[in-house]
Chains A and B, each alone.
Chain A
Amino acid sequence: MPVITYREALRHAMAEELDRDPNVVIMGEEVAQFNGAYKITEGLLAKYGPKRIVDTPISEAGFIGMGLGASMLGMRPVMELMFFSFYSVAFDQIFNNAANVRYMSGGLINCPIVLRGPANGGTNVGATHSHTPESIAAYHPGIKVVVPSTPADAKGLLKSAIRDNDPVMFLENTLLYGESGEVPDGDVLIPLGLAKVMREGTDISIIGHGRAIQMALKSADLLKEKHNINAEVIDLRSIRPLDEETILASVRKTNRVLYVEESKPFCSVGAMVACLIQEKAFDYLDAPVMRVNSVDSPAIYSMPVEKLQLPTVERIYQSALNVLK
């Protein structure tokens, strides 16, 4: 299987969908001539031309709303947010319009739009550029939310998101863009709402999403090495829809859960998953569900401290030991 980067995987997904469906356009700031602020769209303008690959002014509310209006007429715009953090400038368009138009029209309209871009900290760009809005997004019925952590998932999930008839928020990670992995060639889709068991285990379920999963895998290695603990690691990949079955099956097997994610703790995805587990698998739990989140403050700039604000392999490792105590 070819090994490519997460960045290339995203690009391949878009190129394949551009080839497949003339209603797909890529739009955003610097996506065309500049080749993408993070080079995700590099080469697409040259290949597909300015009708399909569209530079927009710095006007998130305007161009996201415009993409949404176009989606109501059957286009499938893939909107790049240079940083996902800038979604807040378009909040009304996303959460009043994209999320609600279908409902308020009694199902007469649907909005097949994708909003994608990097939603992560850890790059020393300060609080304004480091938001992780997956729980805020998933809070809204009508919106779907996807957070891929591997190149293969990035490609397969983006292809599914583009073909989806509902609005999808697709949260990437700049720190993963350069990571490589095996990605199947061609038209391989990964359905939204299907979690992936990244590592099988019997002693504890480390469940999470995003880049924290990559750390969890390393923590799981440490747990095995140092304590002969077999941790199961599950990447949700998709937040809404959510693969409850895979979560609950793992809980029933291991009886212990640690949720890992980069978001802040209050009302995070982990909080939601913990709630679901105690509702649906309470009797299987041998310990409280614990969480590893970013430290609860705005994202700090200072380089060494920012690393510690985010989940770390060490913190996940220690928290897992606590759950197992």
Chain B
Amino acid sequence: MSKKSPSPKKADDAGYNARTAHINAKLGHDELIALYRDMVRIRRFEERCLRSYQAGKIGGFLHLYIGQESVAIGCVSVMGDDDHIITAYRDHGHGLAVGMGMNEMMAEMYGKYTGCSKGKGGSMHFFDPSRNFWGGHGIVGGQVPLGTGLAYALKYQGRKGACLTFMGDGAVNQGAVHESYNLAALMSLPVVFIVENNGYSMGTSQERSSAGPSLAQRAEGYGMNWDIIENGYDVLEVRDKVDRALKLARDKHLPSVLEIRTYRYRGHSVADPDTTYRHKDEIETYKATKDPLMFCQTALLAEKVLTDEIIAKIDESARAEAENSAQFAEASPFPTVDDLQKDVYWEADNPADRKSQGTLFFN
């Protein structure tokens, strides 16, 4: 089963231009606008989530993706129908990117039965296997072996496609991540590990948590290819490099690690006052110079793909969609106590096909 990977290498960046890269050069106006629109939808949706959280409608944690939109949209936009995706708890962007509806996501956060997991998962645990989206995982690094296993199954079953396995910069120090790297390289699995390096794991900066020259370069220890997407705010650069890694994974069963440099604007979760570990200036400077939405907007305005009118329309419709989702969530019923013991065991949910006997629940 094992197959030797070629010597690890970082992609060569000399004279790089994301816009003219093969995967992007052919993009038509509509596709470019869609990339922009999808990023706007994430931001407006999350701004609406924040209001609902502040109003006490959303419980627990709310980990906002604002500032990182180009990563999920860029990555998912180059996925094919056979590709799969799994991520951590900061999962709203990925959910929208794969095509989940705002309604089911907002309702999930409200703890409603109409939510994507019937109110059983919450904001950190979105799933949509019908769209090859395997969650939504709350334990830092815990999803990485699962993503490796999805890739294992794709290869074993002779299916096409690869698995994009996301993690944060804080996850790279978990043993399960290194075990997964080793397994993926050893078994030549069609997986792309994506490290969304937003600079912080909660209040700990990346420099204060990870040794070594870069997070992606750790791939070398496992003989995997790696690359760093310095301008993670540029959805086109994300697309290009992820597309290349996906092709290696799909076509040659070569796994790789991509570190995407990005930034989160809000606190770790909405409960984080965000005052102890970074300066406001840092956030403001990033927003002013590298905001993924603004960067894309400016470029597309210059190309005359976007107009002020289209921008306003996109914004308006994203706001309305988000507002409607909050109303949908508000109007939806909560699950009931009777739902507590559903969706625990497949067998309990499928009594006609049950083969085992005896008691499964003890009260």
Using a CB–CB cutoff of 8 Å, the interface residues on chain A facing chain B are 23, 25, 50-51, 54, 56-57, 59, 61-75, 92-93, 96-97, 101-110, 112, 141-142, 144, 160, 163-166, 189, 191-195, 238, 240-245, 272, 276
A52 CA to B45 CA in the complex, in Å?
Answer: 45
B345 with A166: CB separation less than 8 A? yes
* Cα–Cα, bound, A242→B118 (Å): 28
A69/B355 in contact, CB under 8 A: no
- Determine if B152 is an interface residue (Cβ-Cβ < 8 Å): yes
In the assembled complex, which residues on chain B have CB atoms less than 8 Å from the CB atom of A69? 86, 134, 145-153
Asked whether A192 lies within 8 Å of B357 as measured between CB atoms, the reply is: yes
Q: Which residues of B contact A61 (CB under 8 A)?
A: 145, 175-176, 179
- In the complex formed, the residue of A with least CB distance to B128 is A108
From residue B189, how far is it (CB to closest CB) to chain A in Å?
Answer: 9
B183 adjacent to A108 (CB under 8 Å): no
Most-contacted residue by chain A among B186, B349, B362 (CB, 10 A): B362
With a cutoff of 8 Å between Cβ atoms, the chain A residues found around residue B153 in the complex are 69-75
B116 and A106 within 8 A (CB)? yes
B199 within 8 A of A: no
Q: How many residues of B contact A (CB 8 A)?
A: 60
Residue contact A104 to B125, C-beta cutoff 8 Å: yes
Please name all residues of chain A whose beta carbon is closer than 8 Å to the beta carbon of B127 when the two chains form the complex: 104-106, 108-109
Report the separation of the CA atoms of residues A50 and B3 in the bound assembly, to the nearest whole angstrom: 13
- In the complex, the answer to whether A70 meets B149 with C-beta atoms within 8 Å is yes
Whether B258 is near chain A, meaning CB under 8 Å from some CB there, is no
Chain A min CB distance to B75 (Å): 18
Least distance between A107 CB and chain B CB atoms (Å): 3
Q: Is the CB of A65 within 8 A of B180?
A: yes
Q: Which of B14-22, B33-41, B47-55, B136-144 contacts A (4 or more CB under 8 A)?
A: B136-144
Question: Beta-carbon contacts of B336-363 to A below 8 Å, as 1s and 0s?
Answer: 0000011111110110000111111110
Given known contacts A59-B179, A68-B149, A242-B359, A104 and B136 CB-to-CB distance under 8 angstroms: yes
A109 and B137 alpha carbons, distance in the complex (Å):
14
Pick the contact of A193: B1, B84, B359, B362 (CB < 8 A). B359
Q: Residues of B contacting A70 with CB < 8 Å?
A: 149-150, 152-153, 156
A191 to B156, CA, bound (A): 29
Tell which of B144, B145, B175, B350 has the most Cβ of chain A within 10 Å.
Answer: B145
User: Are B344's CB and A164's CB within 8 A?
Assistant: no
Expressed in whole angstroms, the minimum distance between the Cβ of A53 and any Cβ of chain B is 10
* Shortest Cβ-Cβ A-B pairs, 10 listed: A69-B149, A65-B145, A62-B179, A193-B358, A107-B343, A241-B358, A106-B117, A69-B146, A73-B153, A105-B127
Q: In this complex, what residue of B is CB-closest to A239?
A: B358
- Is B10 in the interface zone, CB < 8 Å from A? no
Count chain B CB atoms within 10 A of each CB in A56, A141, A142, A144 and give the residue with the most. Answer: A141
